[in-house]
Amino acid sequence: MVRKLALKGGNPDSFDEFKSLRSTAKYYIQKYYDTYLRLRENNLISTPKKFWSYYKNKNSNLPNSLHYNNVCYENDDDITNAFADYLNSVSKPSTD
C-alpha cells in the first residue's frame, strides 16, 4: 500500500517512507535467512543422522560423475572415495 502511494502520489515523504520500509524489510529478510542457513548447517554437522537423512533425500538427483580437485570421477567407488576425502578435509576431529 505504501508503495502505491509513493509511486502514485508523488509525495516525497511517501517515497522516503517506502524506501525506508523496503530497506528495513530487505535487511531482516537477509538477516533471518542467514540465521536459518547457519542453524541448518550447524544441525547437519552436529547431528550425523540428520546429515545422512538430508543426503538420502537428495540422493535421487545425484549426477553420474563428480568433479573434485580438477579430476572427473565416473566410477561409483571413485566417487565415494572422493566424497570421503572431501568430508575428511572439512570435518573436525571428535573431541570425545
Encode pLDDT of 42-81 as tens digits.
887 778 787 788 777 766 666 788 888 899 999 889 988 9
Q: What's the chain's Rg over C-alpha atoms?
A: 23
Q: Which pLDDT score, from 0 to 100, does residue 66 have? A: 84
Residue 66 domain-assigned?
A: yes
- Structural domain of residue 80, as residue ranges? 62-91
Total structural domains within the chain? 1
Residue 22 domain-assigned?
A: no
- Residue 28 pLDDT level (bands cut at 50, 70, 90): very high
Residue 82 domain-assigned?
A: yes
Residue 71 domain-assigned?
A: yes
- Number of C-beta neighbours around residue 6 at 10 A: 20
Q: Which of 20, 22, 16 lies closest to 6, judged by CA?
A: 16
Single pTM value for the model: 0.43
Contacts 24+ apart (CB under 8 A), 34-38: none
